[in-house]
Amino acid sequence: MKRYLKSVFALTLICAVIGIALAATNMITLPIIKVNEAAAVQEMLEVVMPGGTGFEIVETENLTLPGTVTEVYCETGGGYVFKLETSGYASGMVILCGVDKNGLVTGAACMSSGETLGYEKTYGNNLVKRTLNSIDSVDTVASATKTTSGYKNAVKDALNAASVLNKSVKGGA
């Protein structure tokens, strides 16, 4: 019995110490990671919405947007950029997708992911100028794998969210 208790105590103590060390490190690194991510998003906004200016965060609390949409930016030309978080083979695939006022994809880029091959970084180029109706005909992002399926569904969510936002703007006007 004493042997078992000693084993449980040792393992628990090691887990606790490691947990405290991780929490302390997280407190140090998390603010830096957030700043880096915000800077990367600002940089990528112009990539997924070429020619876009005056990006501002849109409050979406009163709107019913797809669950993958975590942030929305609007630009002066009437387009939107959506930050989406979805899952491929692994969770935590973050995508930025630009949609213009006509409902066309202006660009999409993968900000981070846990996928093994890294091909998701190139999918965005194949989806430019696609609409909700024409996006399924893109064969190079075929939804045949978990990564392509997650990516394409996230872009569809961005197109749906843009439609909701456009309707709400028209309704409000």
Contact set with another protein (CB under 8 A):
3-4, 6-8, 10-11, 14-15, 18, 21-22, 25-26, 28-29, 32-33, 36, 40, 90, 112-116, 118
CB-wise, 51 or 118, nearer to another protein?
118
Least CB distance to another protein at residue 124 (A) = 15
Q: Are 83 and 155 in contact (CB under 8 A)?
A: no
The whole-angstrom separation of Cα 25 and Cα 161 is: 37
Give the strand order in the sheet containing 69-74: 56-57, 69-74, 80-86, 93-99, 105-112
Least CB distance to another protein at residue 154 (A) = 18
Q: Are 104 and 127 in contact (CB under 8 A)?
A: no
CB-wise, 26 or 70, nearer to another protein?
26
CB-wise, 24 or 142, nearer to another protein?
24
Q: Identify each DSSP E strand in 58-155 by its residue range.
A: 69-74, 80-86, 93-99, 105-112
Least CB distance to another protein at residue 7 (A) = 4
Least CB distance to another protein at residue 166 (A) = 33
